[in-house]
Amino acid sequence: MKTSTSEGKNGIQWTARNQLDDLDFADDLALLSHTHEQMQMKTASVAAVSASVGLSIHKRKTKVLKFKAENNNPITLDGETLENVESFTYLGSIIDEQGGSDADVKARIGKARTAFLQLKNIWNSKQLSTNIKVRIFNTNVKAVLLYGAETWRTTTTTIKKV
């Protein structure tokens, strides 16, 4: 896959010297480009390399998210227009067209609340010490809340919410 996504300088600037062309894990792939043309070329290249090894891209599962895009033309794959979305989930984290973390933080707070409420019997137990309850909270609620937090844009608002 590396050869199909890094053929030129078509990614986004990550650091002063490094460019980020894609995010990939197992069979999940997120392509990154500055322009519509670069994204169209990258999409076609990934499809061609995939086909050469007997793999195909599921077009209905393939989404396009445009961030501050000037070109609203569709991205196509084998003549079919790929669906534009306002957000998508990648490895459990929500990525949206605003480029922020608000949607992901909100979802994490909701999941942590659910985890907390499912352990109501633990919190009400007189037989468990506060120390044990804190350990249970840290492993079952806090871990759910902070999953993926290292990727969040940490603003004062985000910190207050969490």
Q: How many other C-beta atoms can be found within 10 angstroms of the C-beta atom of residue 107?
A: 15
Q: What's 60's DSSP letter?
A: G
Q: How many residues does the chain have?
A: 162
Q: For residue 23, with 0-12 CB atoms within 10 Å meaning exposed, 13-18 middle and 19 or more buried, which class applies? A: middle
Report yes or no: 151 and 103 within 8 Å, Cβ to Cβ.
no
pTM greater than 0.75 (yes/no) = no
Please check whether residue 73 is in contact with residue 64, taking contact to mean a CB–CB distance below 8 angstroms. no
Which segments of the chain are extended strands (E)? 12-13, 19-20, 22-25, 28-31, 63-64, 76-77, 80-81, 83-84, 87-90, 93-96
Residue-wise pLDDT for 69-119, tens only, equals: 888 899 999 999 999 998 888 888 888 887 778 888 999 999 999 999 999
**75 CA to centre of own chain:** 20
Structure tokens at 25: 């894990």
Are 11 and 33 a contacting pair, CB within 8 Å?
A: yes
Residue with the bigger pLDDT between 114 and 38: it is 114
pLDDT, tens only, 47-76: 999 899 999 999 998 999 888 888 889 999
